[in-house]
Amino acid sequence: MTAPTQNRKLLAWVDDVTRLCTPDHVYWCDGSTAEYARFMDQMVASGMATKLSKRPNSYHFRSHASDVARVEDRTYIASRTKDEAGPTNNWVAPEDLKQTMRGLYAGCMQGRTLYVIPFSMGVIGSPIAKIGVQITDSPYVVVNQHIMTRVGTRVLQALGQDGAFIPCLHSVGAPLKPGEQDVAWPCAPIEKKYIAHFPDESLIWSYGSGYGGNALLGKKCLALRIASVIARREGWMAEHMLILRLTSPAGKRYHIAAAFPSACGKTNLAMLRPTIPGWTCECVGDDIAWMKIGPDGRLRAINPEAGFFGVAPGTSYKSNPMAMDTIRENSIFTNCVVTGQGDIWWEDMGVPCEGGTDWKGNPWTPGKGEKGAHPNARFTAPARQCPVICPDWEDPAGVPIDIFIFGGRRTQVMPLVHEALDWDHGVFMGATAASEPTAAALDVKAKLRRDPMAMLPFCGYNVADYWQHWFDMGDKLGAKAPKIFYVNWFRKSPDGKWLWPGFGENGRVLKWMCERTDGKVQGQTTPIGRMPADGEFDLTGLPMSKAEWDELMRVDLGAFKAELTDLDDYMAQFGSRLPARMRAQVASYKQRLGD
């Protein structure tokens, strides 16, 4: 196949990789619907995919049982020095890692086709967008990238002869000997998997896994780990945040970006149906926000992705009706149950299932004692199919952000909502965001799992430097900086009952934030931040007693103080790189708690 580009660097790179990986064929993806259909037909014919008769143009895939999620232990930030990667990332010297991986890549595409996928993160031509090119030997990756990014010839046109792109090399790491029969999900054993980032040259090398974030390299690898490094250098932000637009009954629009650790309901919040009359919500993105300061001095955000790669189990018409409608057609499902009727099913989908074939390919009926879908089963669906996709979700200029939200999963201690006293305090709140490890480990000595700005697995450099970047962005934004809040949807009463109903009721929390942003309500200052004053928070129609509300919002200073040792240990790991402004925040936090 002749290359449909004259971009010199791209041609040279594809040549180099072809020589190293020795595929049988090279194919340049054009991103067309015909190409997508052809790939799906081929994968159905080879037994890799199942066409779902109940959902138009939708397919199911089963991964290898060992290749079901991101592999953080095998994810590396190969910056020049270990200190630049920081204490929270795995580091190997770039040349050492390259040597190891070159050994693995040598001949790794034998018997396979090398696909070249030119893709854009963000609408082509947006001042915030970036172009990547992924080389892969996985047709499953090709069809997923069709949905998750903007793929094809238009990207090559935008690239021209000399345009820059981020090279993303991927192989499933399973060469085929002549005559050898392929398997449904080729991949390499765990000790040969590497998800490698070379931030100094904006380069991604991934080997051995065909799953999700390990293989769809535009997502976590490019849009977060590599982009966070570029963003720091260029003065913008690449964050693990959903973006939504909330509109008040008066028609005023608020744009909110929110960071929560993985599997904390980000997709659900991004597609919120507020229960409070007159308020509406539209989704701009469910996972990643790229934000630049616009000509008006405000922070403008785009969703660099074009699709959703959502967790399937737990998604239902109760938890997320908009996601359920999004995945009615043109979707890919991975590691779900395929029912006898030719549909997909997963645990807590809210519909009965008579049985079918489970994610491992075994016959399955409910009550078998094993889960039918893998807990990290996924749907891949085009964002444009979301019934509440924001009409401006592809505005190249992005949407202006009014509010940042951080959060974690805490059954105790953290109230439903509190507001930062100022930008630096907000950075502290994001930096110290934490979840409880597991319900079983819930005792006073159990360590909290800190996940700074929900970026722990995704920050491509030293987290202490990342915090400094946040402080610097606050200085640049000045009075136009978004207000910062912290939420906890997951608090329980002493007798173990959820205190907050969540789902559509979360709109009430967002409403209070908007009213704070407008100065319509004043809140009250507490040692941990500003909280709703009596009567400010709209509880109309909610069956919640005053005692339950008080418990939900209770600030037990003793419990906060008990976590200070953990906080000190956490901050200490960053040594002298910890920004002075973060030290100052820790000191004033302790002072406010009366320590």
- Amino acid identity of 96? D
Report CA torsion sign: 258, 262, 264, 268.
positive
Among 55, 62, 64, 70, binds ligand O2Y (CB under 6 A): 70
Residue with the CB atom nearest ligand O2Y in the bound state? 212
Binding status of residue 309 toward ligand O2Y by CB under 6 A: yes
Among 376, 385, 435, 462, binds ligand O2Y (CB under 6 A): 376
Nearest to 456 by CA among 142, 99, 87: 87
Calpha distance 229→199 (Å, rounded): 7
CB closer to ligand O2Y, 211 vs 470:
211
CB closer to ligand O2Y, 466 vs 512:
466
Binding status of residue 262 toward ligand O2Y by CB under 6 A: yes
Q: Identify the three-state secondary structure at position 579.
A: coil
**Closest approach of Cβ 209 to ligand O2Y, in Å?**
9
Can you list the alpha helix ranges (DSSP code H) found in 260-314? 266-270
Binding status of residue 343 toward Mn ion by CB under 5 A: no
Q: The tokens of 108 are what?
A: 């790794």
Q: Contact region for ligand O2Y (CB under 6 A) — 32-40, 205-213, 270-278, 499-507?
A: 205-213
Binding-residue total with ligand O2Y (CB under 6 A): 10
Name the catalytic one among 29, 168, 264, 514.
Answer: 264
Q: Contact region for ligand O2Y (CB under 6 A) — 11-19, 210-218, 352-360, 383-391?
A: 210-218
**Closest approach of Cβ 411 to ligand O2Y, in Å?**
21
Measured CA distances, 317 to 129, 274, 503, 555 (Å): 33, 15, 11, 34
Give me the DSSP letters along 406-446.
EE---SSS--SEEE-SSHHHHHHHHHT-EE-S-STT-STTS
Residue 202 near which of Mn ion, ligand O2Y, none (CB within 5-8 Å, type-dependent): none
CB closer to ligand O2Y, 120 vs 262:
262
Residue 393 near which of Mn ion, ligand O2Y, none (CB within 5-8 Å, type-dependent): none
Binding status of residue 69 toward ligand O2Y by CB under 6 A: yes
Residue 376 near which of Mn ion, ligand O2Y, none (CB within 5-8 Å, type-dependent): ligand O2Y
For 59, phi then psi, to 5°, come to: -140, 155
Contact 196, 206 (CB under 8 A): yes
**Closest approach of Cβ 305 to ligand O2Y, in Å?**
9
For Mn ion, the binding residues in 270-309 under the rule CB under 5 A are 287
Calpha distance 6→8 (Å, rounded): 6
Contact mark string toward ligand O2Y, 269..288, x via CB under 6 A: ------------------x-
Binding status of residue 212 toward ligand O2Y by CB under 6 A: yes
Reply yes or no on whether 264 is catalytic: yes
Calpha distance 505→373 (Å, rounded): 28
Residue 335's contacts (CB-CB under 8 Å, 6 or more residues apart) are 61, 62, 63, 68, 312, 359, 373, 374, 376, 377, 378
Residues that bind Mn ion (CB under 5 A): 287
Q: Write out the residues near ligand O2Y by the rule CB under 6 A.
A: 69-70, 211-214, 262, 287, 309, 376
